[in-house]
Amino acid sequence: MNDLQQSLVDSLRERFGDSVEEVREFRDDVIVVVTRQAVVDVATWLRDNEHCPFPLCEDVFGIDAWTRKQRFEVNYHFFSLQCKQRIHLKVRLEESDPAVPSITGVYPGANWYERETFDMYGITFPGHPDLRRAYMPEDFEYYPLRKDFPLMGIPGSLPLPKRG
Amino acid sequence: MGLESALGEGYLTTQLDALVGWARKNSLWPMPMGLSCCAIELMSAGDPRHDISRFGMEVMRFSPRQSDVMIVAGTVTYKMAHVVRKIYDQMAEPRWVIAMGACASSGGMFRSYSVVQGIDQFMPVDVFTAGCPPRPENLFHALIELQKKVQNSSVLDYRDRKEPMFIS
Ligand code: SF4
């Protein structure tokens, strides 16, 4: 961890205390696991802090860990143009309640990323202005990137026009 | 003009089927249903090097009402299948369909929940073209085979389709 990363992690720990569940380093990048209640505050702080602001939300997506107790995970990638630095946030979710507060109020660009995550994993984002499916038809009932979804889909779930 | 000078004062007898088939086959206007990478190869079929107009097929029409043959070039997802079918339904008869490339013919390499495994599941197809993507020459082969089919079909009953053709 370089000095900048270390100071960011220290400030996060100091500011958010127990909300920071875990800090890891992987290939020179810092991964911070936070609780879902804190995600909006952490994102706001990362965007606005004076030391090393992260104005760019590069991506948001989900993970289905399947065998882990906390089955779902939402990953956020932020990039700081000023410091040329990335930071990754993770939020772990129980299967029974896959919901994370939306960060669209902080990063408007996260809008469609969250829609995509909802479409593929069924993770909801309370506070999102327009949480519709992104790729699959509106009336589709399943979440295709979940591990228990068969690769070839559920027969009959996506109707085709009649051949005629 | 050409015909008069060739025949002079004479005349020509033929069958209506042959005459109409001849006219139809040399003026097939394609509807380019370009959905993904195969569409790039469809575009290059129209370039001066390959010159699709040798077959009377250069008039790509982006309105289904003016086109005769739909070239489905690309990956058809379940969501898009309804659109493809709707455009096909808007084409005036007689109409033909070429499934260009592995994706349109069989789902290609996308063996997954979102891609239709062959457009013949929801619309009739006249020629299937192999390749990922097919070279322009391969598309022309399909067009020439389609022209043979058009020439040989009956005016009144063009829908009396034989089995679809497979071009490899
Ligand atoms: S057949 Fe190959 S080139 Fe054509 S659309 Fe499919 S993947 Fe692309």
pLDDT digits (tens, 9 = 90+) for A113-144: 999 999 999 999 999 999 999 999 888 889 99
> Closest-CA residue in chain B for A162?
B122
Residues facing residue A33 across a β-bridge = A22, A90
Instruction: For residue B120, report the phi and psi dihedrals to the nearest 5 degrees.
Output: -70, -5
Establish whether residue B136 lines the binding site of ligand 1, counting it when its CB lies within 6 angstroms of any ligand atom: no
* Residue A153 within a domain: no
Among A151, A145, A104, A149, residue whose Cα is nearest residue A128: A104
Report chain A residues whose CB lies below 8 A from the CB of B86.
161
* Residue A45 within a domain: yes
* Residue A131 within a domain: no
* Residue A11 within a domain: yes
* Residue A22 within a domain: yes
pTM of this structure: 0.83
Can you give the residue range of the structural domain that contains A26? 3-99
- Pick A160's closest partner by Cβ from B113, B121, B124: B121
A151 touches chain B (CB under 8 A): yes
**Contact between A119 and B80 (Cβ < 8 Å):** no
Q: What are the pLDDT digits (tens) for A58-115?
A: 999 999 998 888 999 999 999 999 989 999 999 999 989 899 999 999 999 999 999 9
> The CATH number of the domain where A11 resides is what?
3.30.460.80
**Contact between A101 and A110 (Cβ < 8 Å):** no
Give residue B57's pLDDT.
Answer: 82
Confidence check: pLDDT of B161 > 60:
no
Q: How far is the CA of B159 from the centre of ligand 1 (A)?
A: 29
* Residue A156 within a domain: no
* Residue A20 within a domain: yes
Q: What are the pLDDT digits (tens) for B2-42?
A: 667 777 777 777 788 888 888 888 888 888 888 999 999 99
Q: How many domains are contained in chain A?
A: 1
* Residue A108 within a domain: no
From edge to edge, which strands make up the β-sheet containing B127-129?
Answer: B30-34, B69-73, B96-100, B127-129, B165-167
Establish whether residue B103 lines the binding site of ligand 1, counting it when its CB lies within 6 angstroms of any ligand atom: yes
Interface of B with A (CB under 8 A): 78-79, 81-82, 85-86, 111-114, 116, 120-124
